[in-house]
Amino acid sequence: MTTDRFTHDPALDLVLERDIDVPRALVWKAWTTPEHVKQWFAPKPWSVSECVIDLRPGGVFRTVMRSPEGQEYPGDGCVLEVVPNERLMWTDALLPGYRPAPEPFFTARIELRDSGGGTRYVATAIHRDAEGRKRHEDMGFLDGWGMALDQLVAHVKAVL
């Protein structure tokens, strides 16, 4: 049994919370299978050119997002927590194997709970300071992560 020790801090965290009409197990599969992540993770017209996930604490969570102009933006992180079909947490503050990263930005936490016939989806971006939170918000966190979630739902319905 895993104890959840996370406490939300509105001064530091950005949250996207929504009920979606797809089963929790399929949302989990879409989040934890690289070939599926590549199909929905980046808000279009962006894309994901690479995804590597080693689904265990200390494992890698890596995506490379590609802009419409072809520029690539790698996101290297370390998996912190895996509770199948319930919670996935990773951070770019650490590299795989818990090695410190040179330029940390945020920690991601995905929570899934049953909700009617679908899933209660909560994505939280955790920042070390208010400036990082503001920068992420100004980058379009809610719109971008919301679009990606819509793409995840469409992908699950079409493929899974």
In DSSP notation, 60-121 reads EEEEEEE-TTS-EEEEEEEEEEEETTTEEEEESSEEGGGEEPSS---EEEEEEEEETTEEEE
In a domain, 81, yes or no: yes
Name the band, by pLDDT with cuts 50, 70 and 90, for residue 66: very high
Q: What single-letter DSSP state applies at residue 9?
A: -
In a domain, 101, yes or no: yes
CA–CA gap between residue 55 and residue 97 (Å, rounded) = 12
pLDDT at 39 over 60: yes
CA–CA gap between residue 25 and residue 144 (Å, rounded) = 23
In a domain, 11, yes or no: no
In a domain, 46, yes or no: yes
Tell me: the pLDDT tens digits for 120-139?
Answer: 999 999 999 999 999 999 99
pLDDT score for 2: 60
**What's the whole-model pTM score?**
0.94
Residue 4, helix vs strand vs coil: coil
CATH number of the domain where residue 82 is located: 3.30.530.20
Q: What is the number of domains present in the chain?
A: 1
In a domain, 4, yes or no: no
Domain that holds residue 78: 16-159
Check residues 125 and 2 and name the one with the higher pLDDT: 125
In a domain, 137, yes or no: yes
pLDDT at 3 over 90: no
In a domain, 108, yes or no: yes
CA–CA gap between residue 42 and residue 56 (Å, rounded) = 23
| For the chain, the helix, strand and coil percentages under 3-state DSSP, each to the nearest 5 | 30, 40, 30
pLDDT score for 57: 97
Please compute the mean of the pLDDT values over residues 61-87 and round it to a whole number: 97
Q: What average pLDDT does the structure give for the chain? A: 96
Name the band, by pLDDT with cuts 50, 70 and 90, for residue 4: confident
The closest alpha carbon to 125, from 148, 113, 109, belongs to 109
Please compute the mean of the pLDDT values over residues 65-70 and round it to a whole number: 98
Contact 125, 99 (CB under 8 A): no
